Copies of this chain bind each other. A is one copy, B any other.
Amino acid sequence: MVKRVWVIGIGPGGIDQVTVAAIRALNRVEVFLVPDKGAAKHDLVALREQICATYIDHDYRIIEVPDPERGPDAERSADQYAGGVRDWHRARADRYAELLTGLPEADAGFLVWGDPAFYDSTLRILDTLQADGLEFEVTVVPGISAIQLLAGEHRTVLNRIGQPIHITTGRRLVADYRAYGSDLGDLVVMLDGALTCRELRAEPLEIFWGAYLGAPEQVLRRGRLDAVIDEIVDLRARLRAAHGWIMDTYLLRPITPAGPTP
């Protein structure tokens, strides 16, 4: 019977973004439950296996859990989107409930890309299982998120002095920026497969973009949004075609009267 579930952030890519606390946690886990998203993200599966092989000293097993299908999100309203995500969490929770109750191991683990605190569903699914009556402890180990590596590789700070940082998704970006403008501070955009910042090209914004952060394939671009967005859109499409997948994120920074960041 599983008594403890470890939710371990393993960073955005690259085996050296793992913390000492994460390595210790990896070595407590007897069985890893890993969503199987099909063959598309082959490089990521290999990287995950490399992290386990590099840092774990004992025997463990990995169970691949087929991920429930998700319908298309693009045309949905925010409420429909949240409802769709909840249905999908429910379907996932049912699969994990069945698995967890049948395991002989005491310590199960989930590996999370980046950090479990940013736009990840693992903790919500575990909340659902506990609300359903399953009894286990949860330990969370933070990991470096893609946005931290984005900032670090661009050698910049995410906030301007005394100003906020607004982390949002591609689906909300344009409406929120049009409503609140630079009052939101520096904008970090996650989960934006469509580079919706294209629609803001007329605005005084600087973009800091990064893909495959932390991996050997890492690519960075920065500049005034209107000057570089077409190149980034094109580059993203080519990289995605070449690798078969892409993970990217970006920062939009309001350009102040003094000009863009040096």
Contacts and interface: CB of A to CB of B under 8 A. Distances in A.
Given A148-B145, A155-B123, A156-B123, A161 B82 contact: yes
Given A20-B18, A119-B159, A140 B153 contact: yes
Interface in A96-154: 115-120, 123-124, 127, 131, 138, 140-145, 147-149, 151-153
Contacts of A15: 20
Give the one of A142, A155, A180 with max B CB within 10 A. Answer: A142
A138 B155 contact: yes
**What number of copies of this chain does the assembly contain?**
2
A47 to B, nearest CB: 14
Interface in A151-202: 151-153, 155-159, 161-169, 171-172, 176, 179-180, 183-185
A85 B160 CA distance: 11
B123 A157 contact: yes
Contacts of A42: none
A92 to B, nearest CB: 13
Contact of A11 (B19, B81, B147, B158): B19
30 contacts: A9-B148, A11-B19, A16-B24, A17-B142, A78-B162, A81-B161, A82-B161, A82-B162, A86-B161, A115-B148, A116-B151, A116-B152, A117-B151, A117-B156, A118-B158, A120-B157, A127-B262, A131-B262, A140-B155, A142-B148, A142-B151, A162-B169, A162-B171, A164-B176, A165-B166, A165-B168, A166-B167, A168-B185, A180-B183, A184-B184
